[in-house]
Structure 1
Amino acid sequence: MLAAIVAGVVVRCSRTRGAERGGLVIVVLAAAAAVATTACLAMPAREAVREREAFAVEVVADVSSSASVGKDGRLWFEAQSRSIESAKGTAAVSAPVRIGVEPAEGVDLGATIRVTGQMEATDPGERSAAVVFASEPEIVRPASGVFAVAAGARSAFIERATRLPEPGAGLLPGLAVGDTRAVSDALNDDMRTSGLSHLTAVSGANCAIVVAAAFWLVALCGGGRRLRVVVAALALAGFVVLVTPEPSVIRAAVMAGVAMFTVLLGRPSAGAGMLALCATGILVADPWLAATAGFALSVAASGALILLAPPLARGLARWMPQPLALAISVPLAAQLACGPIIALFAEQQSLVGIAANLLAAPAAPIATVIGLLACLAAPFPMLADLLAASAWLPAAWISVTATVSARLPLAQASLVPGIGSAVLVAVLSAALGIIVRGRRGTSGVGGRRGRWFSWTYRVAAVVLIVALSLGGAHLALQGPLAAMAAPSGWSIAACDVGQGDALLVRSEGEVALIDTGPEPGPLGDCLRSLGIDRIDLLVLTHFDLDHVGGADAVRGRVDAVLHGPVVEAEEQRILDGLGAGGAAVTEATAGMRGTLGASTWRVLWPLRESAVFPSGNDASVVMEVSGGGVPLSLYLGDLSAEAQRMLARNARLAGPYDVVKVAHHGSADQDPAIYETIRPAIAVFSAGIDNDYGHPRAETLDLLTAVGAHVLRTDRQGRILLGIDDGRIAVWTESDVGAPE
């Protein structure tokens, strides 16, 4: 009915002036109304789920997506609830929920499960109405039919692929069937940095590869255009079933299907209209996809390939052979269109994405197609092994490409996510697109329109020149010229890494780093600004994220590591990574001593095999450093007041100290007596701006001021440098905002 009304109105408008604009407005309003109607119809069920927030629940649900292991170690998947039982009673509710369970077998698409756990409502804009944190699931009914066959084929292929050597083994299931559970965190980060992460997700690229392979095979057999499209559609449908037809996969398949329909119609120019129609249909079916970055990126990338890639290829052809211009135009168009969207939520923009995609592009379809054949050949083990081994080589190439390109200087640029960054990236992308396209095509365009084209080109050139100049100056100051801007006499540095610790001690060219902050980026910037390439001694006081999260910034650049007690497997993995990079790893205990250049250090805490403080904040490594041009300094980690009292009773504190790194970023949990004993001349607080904890606390600042300490704070003054100048403590800070008199 709605379609008939819209069609009638559009026909009516076509007889009047401005028919195109009127018709477009009506279609847009009708689509918006349809989307709103779908959302309204789904609200009662979603509200019924939300009413059970914070309740212990028993949920019976049908699994509707593939499962992946999250950072918390749980197996996460989407499901459609059937019933929810809580203290409010049992209700038959059908709504999308996201469930996290202990790793278990049988959680496959199409299976019905029962879980017991805690339910938390999500924001209204999220696709899942609630998140359920559950224990081990009960399989009420296993997957059946084609879903069971697909699950078995995937499992057999993943087991076969992961028996192959690295690099490449863990990546192969992601390339072929979209299963990324075997991809390591390090490789996943490298894929993201190098702009290759779309290859491991089931994206439009994977679907396009399947479609292209089917087209080529039918064409090789002499089939016509219609037969090619039909076979490709069937191949795409089978691929969707194999990799699980969850919303993101269906979205990608629909986008790839746009190209097939334009070929069937014999009108490639209709691609934009077909894309708009498909995007509208997807939103009508599932309005919540409008709030997901994946949907926006899919539409933007597909639109860029249809509308932007051809003019970019023509522009690039002025400087290079046509085939190379076509190859470069595809990732360039996608990068220019997707960059502003990525800037809305990501803190980094890949600067090597185009080059990395060009290198990986030849290998991706080979790994995907042969990997799929290996998956389908599961009933024939010898053939499946041969195909998996053949697919391993291109997968290894992609893995190495991601790792090498991610390690290149300037592989990515850091941005603050948000509207401002998106606008900035959009302006730069538009300017680059205009310059690459060039003036070609404007010849013969005269009058006002010709002048507009000319001015647009000039403005784009100015924008790029200014951006390159500012970027080059920033890189020079952060790179080769960084060390020249820092004073040469520093011996202690408190890096500004946000809410976390990262302190450097230097004596006669040797450097110790005490903790690494929460992220690699800020620590890497600090090291570059001080001209430090290698760490002689790395001290990990304990394994909270704000103290070890930046360890990747120094992996492979450390000679020795001292660390606090290890409890969890993830903590051991951090140490194993540092050890693999060539560092000698040792657990620190009170009484250890050593030298750093001409200075000496000693460990004061934790006590060996302490049963009172076995791990965590109160088992933080506490160090004292003195001599060799280093002020007498004490680094208290994250000790609480109780642990501080034990430290004062068991260690021979050599106060008064010149410099003390105040415990736990200046939390309120401090022992006044220890600060009365050590009486620091300078108290350093390492904390982030506007952190949720209120660090440093006012009472702690008052405590240190009362014992005569000069307070220095990274949240107010940025990076802090300390040294000895003519027997006195010299202080250099990036800013004096909020500094005491």
Structure 2
Amino acid sequence: MLVIVVLGGLALGRSEHLHRSPVAELADQGAVVRAELVVSGDPRISTAGFSPRLVVPVQLRVVEGRGERISLVRAAVASAPLDSALADAVVGSRWQVDGRLGAAEPQDSVVAFLRITRARPIAAPSPSWQVVERLREGLRQSVATRPEGPRALVPALVVGDVSAVSDELKATFVTTGLTHLTAVSGANLTLMLGFVLVMARWIGVRGRWLTVVAVATTAVFVALCRTEPSVLRATAMGLVALAAVGRGAGAGKAVRHLCVAMVALLAIDPWLARSAGFALSTLATGGILVWAGQWADRLRWAPRVVAEAACVPLAAQLATQPVVSALSGQVSVVGLLANALAGPLVGPATVAGFAAAGLSLVHPGLAALAGWAASWPAQGIIWIGQATAALPGAALDIPATPTSLAVLTAACLVTAWWIPHVLSRRWACAVVVLVMVLVLARAPTAPGWPPQHWDVVFCDVGQGDATVVRIGPGTAIVVDTGPDPVPVDRCLTRLGISRVAMLVLTHHHADHIGGLDGIWPGRRVDLVVTGALRSPAWAAEQVEAAVERHGVRLHRTVAGERIVVGGLVWQTVWPPLGAGDGLETTGDDGGGESSAENDLSVVARVVTPTGVTLLLTGDIEPTGQAALLATGQDLRVQVLKVPHHGSGRQDRDFLAATGAVVAVTSSGQGNTYGHPAPRTVELLSQLGMTVLRTDRSGPVAIGLDEDRWSVRTLR
């Protein structure tokens, strides 16, 4: 209790000191400032808004604005246009920038957000940071000639550089429980230290000099992986695990070491208390300390190296599964098998990758040889992920409710108790593997889901839209893909969709096209349909490139077009030909949401093969709704997809003209936009519609069977 009180006091004091500083006050006022800053992390591209921007972690050193000049050292997050000079910024470099400050939330660990309009470098990184950058670039170059998968995965395994990892591979790793491999963890440090210390002993280093080597290696590791909170956290956890194993500490003593490290980290950075990464790292380390060693001991009939390589990831996955499921709403059924198979390959890939980075300072040919060696186990990990993700029963959706998570936690603990009894017997292991294969050969389903007679499913894809309209067994049209590939892929897999006869993208905002890479794996796509508007241009170009890459025909639809697919009739009712000609993305630096783009969403009246009528509305807003209503087209339907996730901006006459019986809002649970707006829900109810919400109910299935309506939700 005393520790909790002390940590709470420290957290409160740190937060008050951070968010009541002079810079925080300028941020509250939205002040335009000139600042000097040091880049503290790699620039990345964010598509979270409606136009991509660079996002760069920085340390503010000097801020000038509103007649004040403030010297400080505070963490902040900067954003800039894609063509900004910051795109090539190197960690440790110093910049002078102009921009506008934005306020951080009380729970944020940064003093402010800075939207940059102009940036120029004023000082290069120190020599030490330049060496670190050469090592990271040397690692990337060492695998530059390898196939796309290993070329992206090796830097991710070694230093957590996921910049080249495709959304498709990320989705595969999420499904198979291998996603932890692409994040910097204590295991990375353990592998690096183990390799370096073995080499040091081999050349004759002994005694205290080994400690010096270990400390120096740890410092290099932190610099190489970036001095970010997640890396420091992983380093602490790795050192705890290494110390416990090295001293032969029992599980109880090892857990005490872990608790001390956890308290120390929270004292240094109180914001870790709300970090999912901190929870996952702590649980994974605890699982390894408590379970992995004794499990490996039971596998005495297998080589020790193989036993440890298999048991460490198994323990980590089992310990973290409840938290992972709370975050993703999914249990990776295939995760245990995938981790057991991939585990022995992680060490060779990581060690060879570290060697490639180091050898890049000596000779690029030697680095390329080490990179070649690292790429083969990395390719094996990818093959394992792809093969296990393709199994019908790879993953099971569960509602992230307290009850289901409590049951899952209990199941994980029972499994952890049961595993040692199995591992000690070869025949028992063989039986378990056989049972797992049989289970994975058939996709698990939640009771009653999907319902037998469904015509349309509004997928739960978070803060976005994805609608599936059934044509026949395994065949459907899909309207929008949500913001992320994983949820839409999961939804289609659950519904058994192997053929997408038509994919419609109502407009090019990230919450409608961001999940596009989740459509392709394991499915045939016959046709992609978009509106005529190509704005924002960057998003339209991404869509067109993806469609061309997969060899699918792209068609642009306008009002008045009628498309018949199987027994389904699609009638485009909006936008009219020529609408939006010359439109440019609005908002500051192209970064804001454009109401004009929303109002030119593709809107369609759809009749399913069973006769269910739908109005799918994209993000059309009041101006567009009124203009569509004025065309006099028949908008009467039974089911309405409420425009713009149920936002508060709706035209009452437009909604009334649909005469819908059921209205569905698609939005993310706990989203910060307030979708659906209470006044919109109330208005729909006043118009006699039953309102269903994916943020509360999960996916919504609606069907018609022999003139009988059925509405089913997963939650």
**1:495 matches 2:469:** no
Larger Rg: 1
Aligned to 2:577: 608
Q: After superposition, what is the alpha-carbon deviation per residue over 1:333-369, rounded to whole angstroms, capped at 9, x for unaligned?
A: 2223323444554443433333323333333233323
Residue 562 of structure 1, CA deviation: 1.4
Aligned to 2:527: 560
Q: After superposition, what is the alpha-carbon deviation per residue over 1:583-635, rounded to whole angstroms, capped at 9, x for unaligned?
A: 32212123444322255544343333324695623222233456965366654
3-state SS, counterpart of residue 187 of structure 1: helix
The correspondence for 1:89, drawn from 60, 68, 87, is 68
Q: How does 1:7-46 map to 2 (within 5 A)?
A: 29=2, 33=6, 36=9, 40=13, 43-44=16-17, 46=19
Counterpart-to-counterpart distance in 2, 1:515 and 1:638: 11
The correspondence for 1:116, drawn from 98, 103, 128, is 98
Q: In the superposition, relative to structure 1, how do residues 616 and 229 fare at CA in structure 2: closer, same or farther (>3 Å)? A: same
Q: How does 1:310-709 map to 2 (within 5 A)?
A: 310-314=293-297, 325-343=307-325, 345-379=327-361, 380-415=363-398, 423-438=406-421, 477-478=445-446, 485-487=451-453, 492-495=455-458, 497=460, 500=465, 502-504=467-469, 506=471, 511-516=476-481, 532-545=497-510, 547-548=512-513, 551-555=516-520, 556-564=523-531, 565-568=533-536, 569-574=538-543, 576-578=545-547, 580-581=549-550, 583-598=552-567, 600-611=569-580, 616-625=597-606, 630=611, 635-644=616-625, 646-647=627-628, 653=633, 664=644, 680=659, 684-687=663-666, 691-694=675-678, 696-699=680-683, 702=686
Q: Is the 8 A contact 2:61 2:71 kept in 1?
A: yes
Higher mean alpha-carbon deviation, 282-291 vs 667-676, is at 667-676
Residue 211 of structure 1, CA deviation: 0.9
Counterpart-to-counterpart distance in 2, 1:656 and 1:421: 40
One-letter amino acid of the structure 2 residue matched with residue 52 of structure 1: L
Aligned to 1:6: none
Q: In the superposition, relative to structure 1, how do residues 151 and 659 fare at CA in structure 2: closer, same or farther (>3 Å)? A: closer
Counterpart-to-counterpart distance in 1, 2:495 and 2:14: 59
Q: In the superposition, relative to structure 1, how do residues 610 and 287 fare at CA in structure 2: closer, same or farther (>3 Å)? A: closer
Percent identical across equivalent pairs? 28
Q: Is the 8 A contact 2:508 2:535 kept in 1?
A: no
3-state SS, counterpart of residue 52 of structure 1: helix
Counterpart-to-counterpart distance in 2, 1:237 and 1:124: 32
Q: After superposition, what is the alpha-carbon deviation per residue over 1:406-439, rounded to whole angstroms, capped at 9, x for unaligned?
A: 4443434445557656544432222212222459
Unmatched 5+ stretches in structure 1 = 1-27, 442-467
Aligned to 1:246: 228
**1:60 matches 2:60:** no
Q: Is the 8 A contact 1:670 1:700 kept in 2?
A: no
Q: In the superposition, relative to structure 1, how do residues 79 and 538 fare at CA in structure 2: closer, same or farther (>3 Å)? A: closer
Q: After superposition, what is the alpha-carbon deviation per residue over 1:496-530, rounded to whole angstroms, capped at 9, x for unaligned?
A: 64774515153799643334456667756765676
Residue 176 of structure 1, CA deviation: 2.8
Q: Is the 8 A contact 2:338 2:384 kept in 1?
A: yes
Q: In the superposition, relative to structure 1, how do residues 554 and 95 fare at CA in structure 2: closer, same or farther (>3 Å)? A: closer
3-state SS, counterpart of residue 149 of structure 2: coil
The correspondence for 1:47, drawn from 13, 20, 33, is 20
Q: In the superposition, relative to structure 1, how do residues 349 and 121 fare at CA in structure 2: closer, same or farther (>3 Å)? A: farther
3-state SS, counterpart of residue 81 of structure 1: strand
Counterpart-to-counterpart distance in 2, 1:694 and 1:418: 23
Aligned to 2:116: 134
Q: How does 1:175-254 map to 2 (within 5 A)?
A: 175-221=157-203, 224=206, 228-254=210-236
Counterpart-to-counterpart distance in 2, 1:508 and 1:433: 40
Aligned to 2:593: none
TM-score by length of 2: 0.78
Unmatched 5+ stretches in structure 2 = 425-435, 584-595
Counterpart-to-counterpart distance in 1, 2:268 and 2:665: 50
TM-score by length of 1: 0.76
Aligned to 2:432: none
Q: In the superposition, relative to structure 1, how do residues 82 and 38 fare at CA in structure 2: closer, same or farther (>3 Å)? A: farther
Q: Is the 8 A contact 2:34 2:98 kept in 1?
A: yes
Instruction: Count the aligned residue pairs.
Output: 665
Residue 640 of structure 1, CA deviation: 3.9
Counterpart-to-counterpart distance in 2, 1:658 and 1:274: 61
Q: Is the 8 A contact 1:507 1:596 kept in 2?
A: no
Aligned to 1:99: 78
